[in-house]
């Protein structure tokens, strides 16, 4: 992807506002899930298809900030780590803890990553060590302890044979994961002034795609730091060698503040970086050239991650939101804009599906004709005063008399009439159509008659939350946090709004 050939566009497609504190990490799985970790001590899991929260979410087990989250390569397990010194492995499907791991000194853990082959998990801590764990047996394999500051970044090479760690004093080190070496294979003094914040390997560069016959191993490493820079390094070693060469090949300048996160897209064509300057930048790894600047957060952008198909980018911020961006070329963006305009045109007429067709005015009928692509016949309908009552009685012969001569057009109108009649009937049968979501009880999803506020701050139907706690459930239906009291406070303001809405 060349910057001279392609102009990128990032379109905001979704906003997640469920967290109550800073977003510290976002991570996509290979099977269309998204994890978001926050200073509110939780990690939440989302279905990328519609961004609904999974039933296993939120994951509540940490007692302090959750700094990082990472999916296993198959998406069945998610790892989270926190200032509380815990590294917790969770079953994504049911939200249960699989294991709780800690460094020897039990200091805060800042970062964790799974190896691409699913065999290893690396964690970096404030105790200046990185621990390599066996994922299957939840066993500590070895500890890398040559850093002299908190380890805040780590990344496995695409072949899982090496891991690079970066610390808050700016140094980078490379390690062997397979052969028991506890001494670093490479050391870069002050790779970033003031400190490294993140590092990531390209999944497609060099030996990630092909094995060189002469035994050479080449990878591309991206790093970022407090010096407001993103750097690209060539990672080179020989098969069986105990040394690694890290050579800086590009210095990416553009951010006006410390860069907190960087990541390659799974197809290797893009590198994203997130900064406290409130922007995310997209770069071309091959040349180090800037492709696009994304703005949307109101505070520092702390993290970013690409989806498995490289089409979406998630960004998290101190503004407590996660924004989901669709990355397209300029041409694709124009096509998407047209499609969005078409959808909005249909949405503007959606009131007609909950308004009886018999009450449609002539103008309503003409608007409907336009939404199905038959707007050029509106004058015919207007001159014959075809309103909703007349519309439902139209047949093929009557359409001919309305001077709609093309058989295909008549058939399209008749099919659309049948479809809208069915939707209209279904909508009118739904007594809750058009009810704001906040008027519905989170447990029963029915309009609340006696709304009350529980200890977790959420409003429920009194009968529903009382039944919940009377069955021995002592955790919040919404946050999974312990409910230490069953005391309920009437939400009179919401009750008044609901009644006013129902009374029209």
CATH homologous superfamily of 349-429: Transcription Factor, Ets-1 (1.10.150.50)
CA 484 to chain centre: 32
Predicted local confidence at residue 336, as pLDDT: 52
Tokens at residue 377, please?
């016949």
Third-level CATH fold of 437-502: Herpes Virus-1 (3.30.40)
pLDDT band at residue 434 under the 50/70/90 scheme: low
Q: How far apart are CA 211 and CA 199, in angstroms?
A: 23
What confidence category does residue 332 fall into, taking pLDDT thresholds of 50, 70 and 90? low
**Per residue in 301-322, pLDDT tens?**
999 999 999 999 999 999 999 9
Number of Cβ within 10 Å of residue 249's Cβ equals 12
Residue 437 CB neighbours (<10 A): 7
Contact 130, 123 (CB under 8 A): yes
Find out if CATH 3.40.109.10 is the number for domain 8-336: no
**Per-residue pLDDT for 350 more than 50?**
no
Domains 8-336 and 349-429 share a fold: no
Cβ atoms of residues 324 and 19 within 8 Å? no
The H or E element that residue 290 is part of is strand 289-295
As a dihedral over the C-alpha atoms of residue 128, residue 96, residue 20, residue 62, rounded to 10 degrees, the angle is: -30
Interval 450-478 mean pLDDT: 86
CA angle 259, 102, 19 (to 5 degrees): 50
What is the per-residue pLDDT for 201?
97
Q: Which pTM value belongs to this model? A: 0.67
Give the residue extent of every domain in the chain: 8-336, 349-429, 437-502
Q: What is the DSSP string of 57-125?
A: --EE--SS-EEEEEE-TTSSEEEEEETTS-EEEEETTT--EEEEE--TT---EEEEEE-TTSSEEEEEE
């Amino acid at each position: 992807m060349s910057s001279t050939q392609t102009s990128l566009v990032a379109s905001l497609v979704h906003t997640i506002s469920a967290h109550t504190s800073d977003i510290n990490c976002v991570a996509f799985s290979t099977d269309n899930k998204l994890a978001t970790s926050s200073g509110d001590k939780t990690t939440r899991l989302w279905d990328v298809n519609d961004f609904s929260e999974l039933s296993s979410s939120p994951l509540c087990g940490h007692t302090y900030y959750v700094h990082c989250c990472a999916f296993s390569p198959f998406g069945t397990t998610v790892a989270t780590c926190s200032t509380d010194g815990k590294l917790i492995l969770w079953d994504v499907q049911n939200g249960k803890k699989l294991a709780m791991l800690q460094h020897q000194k039990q200091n805060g853990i800042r970062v964790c990553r799974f190896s691409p082959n699913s065999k290893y998990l690396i964690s970096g801590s404030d105790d200046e060590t990185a621990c390599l764990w066996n994922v299957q047996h939840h066993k500590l394999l070895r500890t890398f302890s040559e850093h002299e500051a908190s380890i805040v970044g780590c990344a496995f090479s695409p072949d899982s044979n090496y891991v690079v760690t970066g610390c808050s004093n700016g140094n980078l080190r490379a390690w062997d994961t397979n052969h028991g070496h506890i001494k670093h294979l490479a050391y870069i003094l002050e790779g970033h002034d003031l400190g490294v914040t993140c590092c990531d390997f390209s999944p497609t560069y060099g030996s990630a795609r092909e094995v060189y016959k002469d035994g050479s191993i080449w990878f591309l490493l991206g790093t970022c730091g407090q010096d407001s820079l993103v750097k690209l390094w060539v990672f080179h070693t020989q098969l069986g060698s105990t040394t690694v060469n890290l050579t800086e090949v590009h210095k990416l300048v553009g951010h006006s503040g410390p860069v907190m996160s960087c990541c390659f897209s799974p197809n290797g064509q893009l590198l994203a970086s997130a900064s406290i300057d409130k922007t995310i930048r997209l770069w071309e790894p091959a040349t180090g050239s800037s492709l696009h600047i994304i703005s949307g957060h109101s505070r520092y952008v702390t993290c970013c991650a690409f989806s498995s198909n490289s089409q979406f980018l998630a960004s998290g911020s101190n503004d407590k939101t996660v924004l989901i961006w669709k990355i397209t070329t300029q041409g694709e963006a124009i096509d998407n804009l047209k499609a969005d305009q078409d959808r909005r045109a249909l949405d503007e007429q959606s009131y007609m599906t909950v308004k009886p067709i018999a009450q449609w005015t002539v103008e309503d009928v003409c608007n409907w004709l336009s939404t199905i692509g038959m707007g050029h016949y509106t004058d015919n309908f207007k001159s014959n005063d075809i309103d909703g009552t007349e519309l439902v009685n139209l047949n093929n012969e009557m359409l001919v008399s309305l001077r709609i001569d093309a058989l295909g057009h008549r058939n399209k109108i008749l099919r659309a009439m049948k479809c809208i009649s069915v939707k209209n009937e279904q909508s009118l049968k739904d007594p809750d159509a058009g009810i704001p979501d906040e008027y519905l009880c989170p447990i029963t999803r029915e309009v609340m008659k006696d709304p009350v506020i529980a200890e977790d701050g959420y409003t429920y139907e009194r009968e529903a939350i009382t039944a919940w706690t009377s069955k021995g459930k002592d955790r919040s239906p919404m946050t999974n946090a312990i409910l230490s009291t069953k005391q309920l406070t009437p939400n009179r303001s919401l009750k008044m709004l609901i009644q006013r809405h129902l009374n029209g």
